[in-house]
Structure 1
Amino acid sequence: MPGFSALGISLGWLGLVAASASAAEAPLPAVGVTPVLVRDVSPGTEFVGRVEAQNSVDVRARVEGFVQERPFQEGQLIQQGQVLFIIETTAYEAALAVTKATLASAQATLQEAEQRFQRNQELRRTNAIAQATLDEAVAARDVAQANVKSAEASVRQAQLNLDYTTIRAPISGRVGRAAFSVGSLVGPTSEPLARVVQVDPIRVVFSVSDRTILELRTQAGDLSEDELSKRFVPTVRFPTGVAYEPTGEIEFFGNEFDPQTGTIPIWARFANSRAMLVPGQFVTVSVQRAEPMRRPVVPIGAVEQDRDGRFVLVLEHGDRVGIRRIRVGAQIGQYWTVEEGLGGGESLIVQGLQNVRPGTVVRPIVSENAADNDAPVAGAGGP
């Protein structure tokens, strides 16, 4: 039946044409892509730190008297030399006037004794007076000179006592509660009038184990402690998880390990112009390399593995899927660091991986989870 055979061939041909047209009209598979980020992946180590003031001074009275003024607000930031207390000055001004009068009298007596000595010395040269008389004039002059020096010392002491009635801030910082109010009697034996703590710069102290010190030195090439302090940078994070912006610098290491804890204290200095760090506060200290170690990073979910190792799919020319074999390093949060195989900036396929294979032409869609190239990688620099 040749007619049926020709009809079957025709119908088969029409079916193939229809299938080809349907395949040509099928939409390209959509995939989510994001650029490969390059980030600082330097390993960091975290410690519990305590904030300390570099300097703290108890303000005390050096003379006795009633507090006449207290020209500061408790808790305010003050500058070195700023007046904190004024003690009643009347008695000390009077004492200074008395000592100045005594000095003037002693100076007049010295002048008279010096003139007598000069006259007697001339008379002695002509034997007009006895040697004993000249000796008495010399002694009187010497006594007058000593009295002048004593009177001058009394004037200086009286001036100091008067100056001590104005009590100034010995350092810049934050002043605490005033222990005495206006009208209170204070003196050298009184408790501190107030306490001033330096807040800028400020110090954060944390303890590091001997093992951690050895590991850091090994990572940095067996450097000395002084060289380590320059190679690593400390940062601070508040208990709320918020990072403190200015980085610090390691001031110095303690000079011995605590035999009970096996740790050594380290002091780090931080700028604190806004007084965000408060003495006595506990913070988290993270120590990282001063020179960043930058590597490409890729989301963990974008990395696949077969018998030949790990790989990722990337978008190549013509929106065609390509495969990149990679060697990963440390895991940081939800990312792998990439040691080999990527250079950064490649279009990485992160969604729709199950629908494509190498060589497939796809329709790329920028992933909503694509991170800004300057954004930090979550978990970077962690312990």
Structure 2
Amino acid sequence: MTFSLLRFSQASLCLLFFTSIIGCEDAKIQKVKAPTPHVVVETVSQSSIKPQMEFIGRTEATEDVSIRAQVEGTLLKRHFTGGDDVNKGELLFEIDPRPYVTIVEQQKASLIHAKSAFKIAKNRWERGTKLSKTGAISEMDIDELTAQMNQTQADVAINQAALDTAELNLSYTRILAPISGRISRSQVSIGDLVTANNLELATLVQLDPVWVNFQIAEKQLTNARQSFADGAQTIQTDDLTVTIQLSEQLDYDQPGKIDFIDNRVDQSTGTLAIRAVFPNPNKLLLPGQYTNLTIGLPDAESVILISQASVQEEQQGRFVLVVNEHNKVEKRMVKLGARYDVRWEVTEGVKVGEKIIIDGLQKVRVGIEVETTESTDKPFSASVETK
């Protein structure tokens, strides 16, 4: 009995000991506080921007001429090398002129003959007119003399027109540059027989100035009107700055201007055709090039921009997480405007001076307290792209 009582006492002591340990551990666990999450925030501020829109454009020559022969003949000479810059009126090709010289000489002889016949008929008419006053010849004879004179006079006009045509055809044997520009390589060789208005001999393009064609989608057009319009203010094409980029590292230093906007949206593509013209004195732009074209307003605007990384989306719309004055997280639904580079314009939802979380979003939830560090990114102020 004494032994059993002793064993019971030892068991009770052990149970009491372990219970005390567990109780102490529970007390310690209850006293441990979770660490405060750390997030990076940015302070909402006004940014100065110049609204812009970017497009892919393609260059086009303001004049693109197909050089063709206007008369048939054998090609005798070529007076250029492909890729040369030529001036208006410069000789490009020569076609064998001998057949056309012969025709000119024939027409000259025919004209001389017609003029001689007219002179004789006119002299007869003048003499007949004098004799008719004395009654020496009849009225019928006068009518015949008048008709003969008129007919020979018409023959002179016909032969003169034929001579003009022959001389014109002769001039076509010398093919001149109709404009100043850069010429392509020749499509014909010396000795080839060329026919009138059939074979393209070469092409000639005017490189200064140069057009850049691009299209704007209906949605972009609507957004552009909203972005560029300021109340009742009307934006003229001359107010827009138009620039192009030759590559990612090279901007074209000559600004352009819009000189054509189509009068309807293409139903098949849903786009509106627009064209800009650029000076090209150094011939850096060539027809057919693809370029990045940017259109923007000359005056900067002040808007609220926030980091794209801070914006989240759910079924109700887009929202951001704001850290209030008590360092607690709040959820704000926002209304966004245009996108500028990697930032969004905010039209509703946040105010200047408020702090929004841009990094550490996965570590927080609404209502908890957080520790914050201000972002070191530089304030945004640039000419940027609208959505």
TM-score by length of 1: 0.66
Query: What is the aligned residue count?
Result: 293
Name the counterpart of 1:25.
none
1:271-299 C-alpha deviation (Å, 9 max, x unpaired): 1122222211111111111x2317799xx
The 3 A distance-change label for structure 1 pair 93 and 190 is same
> Does residue 142 of the first structure (1) align with residue 175 of the second (2)?
no
1:48 aligns with one of 51, 56, 60: 56
Q: How does 1:290-309 map to 2 (within 5 A)?
A: 291-293=298-300, 307=324
1:341-366 Cα shifts (integer Å, max 9, x gaps): 9xxxxxxxxxxxxxxxxxxxxxxxxx
Instruction: Determine the structure 1 residue equivalent to 2:229.
Output: 221
2:292 is paired with a residue of what secondary structure?
A: strand
The whole-number CA distance in structure 2 between the counterparts of 1:223 and 1:143 is 76
Matches within 5 A, 1:137-216: 137-216=145-224
Q: Is the 8 A contact 2:208 2:281 kept in 1?
A: yes
**Once the two structures are superposed, what CA deviation does each residue of 1:178-234 show, in whole Å capped at 9, x if it has no partner?**
11122211121531111112211111111111222222223333799x954222222
Q: How far apart are the structure 2 equivalents of 1:308 and 1:283?
A: 49
CA distance in 2, matches of 1:102, 1:222: 75
For 1:230, the equivalent position in structure 2 comes to 238
Q: Matched residue of 1:44: which SS?
A: strand
Identity of aligned residues (%): 32
Q: Does the CA-based 8 Å contact 1:53-1:279 persist in structure 2?
A: yes
What are the residue-to-residue correspondences of 1:1-383 with 2, within 5 Å? 41-221=49-229, 227-289=235-297, 291-293=298-300, 307=324, 380=384
> Residues 377 and 74 of structure 1: is their aligned pair in 2 closer, same or farther, counting only changes over 3 Å?
farther
Larger Rg, first or second structure (1 or 2): 2
Q: Deviations over 1:89-128 (max 9, x none)?
A: 2222222122112111211111111010011111111111
Structure 1 gap segments, 5+ residues each = 1-38, 310-328, 342-369, 371-375
Task: Give 2:245's aligned amino acid.
Answer: R
- Give yes or no for contact 2:265–2:271 (8 Å, CA) kept in 1: yes
Judged with a 3 Å threshold, the aligned counterparts in structure 2 of structure 1 residues 129 and 231 are, in CA distance, closer, same or farther, namely: same
- Structure 1 counterpart of 2:274, which letter? I
What displacement does 1:379 show?
A: 6.6
For residues 312-361 of structure 1, the C-alpha deviation after alignment (integer angstroms, 9 at most, x for no partner) is xxxxxxxxxxxxxxxxx999669999x989xxxxxxxxxxxxxxxxxxxx
Provide the secondary structure at the position in 1 that maps to 2:157.
helix
Separation in structure 2 between the aligned mates of residue 107 and residue 227 of structure 1, nearest angstrom: 68
Equivalent residue for 1:16? none
**TM-score between both structures, scaled by the size of structure 2:** 0.66
**For the residues of structure 2 that align with 1:185 and 1:56, how far apart are their CA atoms?**
25
CA distance in 2, matches of 1:108, 1:209: 72
Distance (whole Å) between structure 2 residues aligned to residue 281 and residue 271 of structure 1? 15
Aligned to 1:51, the other structure's residue is in SS state: strand
C-alpha contact 1:45 1:381 (8 A) present in aligned 2: yes
Q: What SS does the aligned partner of 1:101 have? A: helix
Contact 1:235 1:246 in 2 (8 A): yes
> Matches of 1:109 and 1:58 in 2, distance apart?
45
Instruction: Give the gaps of 5 or more residues in structure 2.
Output: 1-46, 308-321, 327-336, 346-350, 354-377
Distance 1:99 1:89, change over 3 A: same
Deviation at 1:132, TM superposition (A): 2.4
Structure 1 residues 187 and 330: CA distance shift in structure 2, 3 A: closer
Query: Matches of 1:173 and 1:128 in 2, distance apart?
Result: 72
Mapped partners of 2:203, 2:110: distance in 1: 39
Cα distance in 2 for partners of 1:176, 1:265 equals 28
CA distance 1:60–1:334, shift in 2 (3 Å): closer
Counterpart AA for 1:140: Q
Q: 1: distance between equivalents of 2:164 and 2:339?
A: 71
